Amino acid sequence: MSYPTPLYSHAGRGHFRDVYEPAEDSFLLMDALEKDAQKLQLLSPSVCVEVGSGSGVVSAFLASIVGPSALYICTDVNPEAAQCTKETASCNRVSLQPVVTDLVGSRGIEAAWAGGKRGREVTDRFLPLVSQLLSADGLFYLIAVAENDPEEIIRSLGNYGLTGESCLSTRARNERLSVLRFHRKGT
């Protein structure tokens, strides 16, 4: 089954001009979620969290796959992104709960892979939290570029009891993008 790309023409324009507009990374992540649609539906998650939601298009897409039984929490440091996510939810008739916050705490980020050594300053702060947040049968998806060292990310999360793999990748302009998918070892 094919799922339509959510409506997001308001993102990156007007009041939402400072909100990250969906680009190659967002579309690759949506492709990975669509590829895993049957698996996600069988898991029937009760809570889905997107860190650095920007426009909210990825969560809106996930909501179209999983359905209204889950709670969709969308975090971003940018208050405009929270409003944009709310607008995306409205345009696509899904329920998303935007929260202005840092990761899943209280300080503030804009992109889950931006800055620092290997472009992973924020990601490296978040990775240790994943195993604490992920349910026993949950899945965690992460967009990475080659400079982020995806193989090292997979090894690192292995130290926290998670198994990971690159489930989809593409070249976008000068970047090699990958979607990494993780689950608990033995599940």
Task: Say what the pLDDT of residue 104 is.
Answer: 54
Report the mean per-residue pLDDT for the chain.
Answer: 89
Tell me the C-alpha distance between 163 and 161, whole Å: 7
Specify the fold of 14-137.
Answer: Rossmann fold (3.40.50)
The domain segmentation of the chain, as residue ranges, is 14-137
Label residue 108 by pLDDT band (50, 70, 90).
Answer: very low
Tell me the C-alpha distance between 42 and 83, whole Å: 31
With a pLDDT cut of 70, the percent of the chain lying above it is 90
Quote the pTM value.
Answer: 0.89
Tell me the C-alpha distance between 167 and 37, whole Å: 13
- Over the stretch 122-181, which tens digit does the pLDDT of each residue have? 788 888 889 998 999 999 999 999 988 999 999 999 999 999 999 999 998 888 999 999
CA distances from 7 to 83, 100, 116, 135, 182 (A): 15, 22, 33, 30, 28
Tell me the C-alpha distance between 56 and 22, whole Å: 9
- Over the stretch 78-93, which tens digit does the pLDDT of each residue have? 999 999 999 999 999 9
Q: How far apart are the first and last CA of the chain?
A: 25
